[in-house]
Amino acid sequence: MKIYVIIIAALLLKPLNAQDMYTLETCQTDIATDVPQFFQDYFQCVKARMSSSGNYVNLYFSSLPPYESWYYDAMNATSSSNPNWIPFESFGAGSYQNPNVISELDIVISIPVNPTPRTGVTIDAEAVDGEVGTSDYEYPMSYIGCALNGATMYNPCAAPGDVIEDEALSFDLYSGHPGGGAYHYHTTSPGPLEVLKYKMPDVVTNTTPGSAELEIFGINCDGVVVMGCTELDGSAVDPSEWDAQNGHVEDMVGADGTVYFENRYHTHICYTDISDDAADNNGYPDHEFTPEISYYETPGYAGLGNQNGQMTTYDRCMGLDAPVEPDNEWVALDDDVLIPGEFALYNNYPNPFNPTTVLDYDIPENSFVNITVYDMMGRRVKTLVNANQSAGFKSVVWDATNFVGQPVATGLYMYTIVAGDFRQTKKMAFIK
């Protein structure tokens, strides 16, 4: 028999503890279950909420990178109490340390759930020129996106008078650096790919940009997904229909058949070496940094920029101090909402099954939940859930036909839930 209680809870992002190294394991990930599956499956170290109207995903992040960097302490320091700090390492001639250090920020971007393409926008070589203020609908010189690991993605251009290739000489081991305190990426980094390896170890083993099994770096404030050298299902990219910033529109479908986005514009940062030729200017066909031109309309935002040769105010999205719309409630606080009184894992159904089965489970409080399928030898077959979840009655589907690596064999399998101090294992049978 189930016991129901009403729970009022607020889960906040944990501030950085100076005694703990800030990592994918120690950072707080707080993604509401009504947020689109893309954010639940691919993001770590962020807080995500639907807006009150349901038109935006409000994505909160600190810009702290969850790995070691020499930007975690004062420039030219020889030692540090910060456990994420490492000494500066030169990459060769011209390499230097940016005279800024990492700060913990409170950033939110409101990402439209169903963005509308801008009309009359041509993203050609002339528009993607690597220079500030020369094209319509350039992203502002600001925080324009969030990487999978909660670090900031920035405008791809350098301040006027500089070239972005020169700024690359100040990147750390993860191709990031601070600017005014905000740690950010302009280009590819193994940092977001480490999130993929952490959340889906049965899919991603390589975190080297350009050769990883799956390459997603993050999402921009207007809804443009920033990819690497793969599509969302891990397949190789097809550049035949790319525009000047390696972007195109198509359904974004995962390897297991999940349709994350329909007709979504996304770009691919896919190259072998960062150019040291300033004359290249990031123009077509070599798109080396994050998208320069905003593809989607961003109602609710407003900024000053160049439009048809005139400085004017028009919608351009960026990082904010507060969301465009307030958050929707994650757990409703009225007497009509039933919350389970205890953790539980139920028998899957159908059982035996072919090819899909449903696993139901109860979460009485906001918890980090892991549900993993193992074979009878104890080898991991598939991780089904690995995320923070709100209190409630939950279900997850395992499709045994969609397995990366090798076919799932007929036989008995175990599925285990770990949530807080609760752990339980049950068996199921897959029959072809």
- 11-21 pLDDT tens trace: 334 444 445 89
Q: What's the whole-number mean pLDDT along residues 334-361? A: 82
Give residue 334's pLDDT.
47
Q: What is residue 278's predicted lDDT score, i.e. its pLDDT?
A: 39
- Does residue 405 register a pLDDT over 80? no
Give the confidence band of 288 by pLDDT, cuts at 50, 70, 90.
confident
How much is the pLDDT for 107? 93
357, amino acid identity: T
Buried b (16+ CB within 10 A) or exposed e, 84-99: bbbebeeeeeeeebbe
Residues 6+ apart with CB under 8 A from 104: 15, 16, 62, 63, 64
The two structure tokens encoding residue 416: 């285990």
**Residue 93: per-residue pLDDT:** 85
CA atoms in the 13 A half-sphere facing the CB of 62? 20
pLDDT > 60? residue 335: no
Give all domains of the chain, ordered by start, each with its CATH number. 11-333 (no CATH), 339-430 (2.60.40.1930)
User: DSSP string of 69-122?
Assistant: BGGGS-TT-S--S-TTB------STT----S-------EEEEEESSPPBPSS--
Q: How far apart are CA 275 and CA 256, in angstroms?
A: 36
User: Phi, psi (5° rounding) for residue 109?
Assistant: -120, 140
CB 164 within 8 A of CB 289: yes
Q: pTM of whole model > 0.75?
A: no
pLDDT digits (tens, 9 = 90+) for 93-138: 889 998 888 989 999 999 999 999 998 888 998 888 888 888 878 9
Locate all alpha helices (DSSP H) within 142-269, ordered by sequence: 164-167, 190-199
pLDDT at residue 76 above 80? no
Task: Determine the pLDDT at residue 81.
Answer: 78
On the question of pLDDT at 363 being above 80, the answer is yes
pLDDT at 367: 86
Mean residue pLDDT of the chain comes to 84
pLDDT band, very low/low/confident/very high, at 160 (cuts 50, 70, 90): confident
Q: How far, in Å, CA of 33 to CA of 391, rounded? A: 10
- Which tokens hold the place of 40? 């639940």
| Token pair in block for residue 358 | 């449903």
Least confident piece of the model among 186-200, 313-327, 399-413: 399-413
Residue 18 has what pLDDT? 46
Q: What's the confidence (pLDDT) of residue 251?
A: 95
- Whether pLDDT at 281 is above 50: no
Nearest to 188 by CA among 203, 169, 207, 163: 207
> 278: which 2 tokens?
């300033």
Higher pLDDT, 287 or 395: 395
Q: How many CA atoms lie within 13 A of 394 on its CB side?
A: 28
Give the rounded percent of residues in the chain with a pLDDT score beyond 70: 84
pLDDT at position 264: 97
Average the pLDDT over each of 212-216, 245-249, 338-342 and give the range with the smallest value. Answer: 338-342
Average the pLDDT over 238-246 and give the result.
89
Is the pLDDT higher at 319 or at 74? 319
Q: In the predicted model, is pLDDT for residue 305 greater than 70?
A: no
Residue bearing the bigger pLDDT, 332 or 269? 269
pLDDT at 353 over 80: yes
pLDDT given for residue 286 in this prediction: 63
Residue 339, pLDDT score: 77
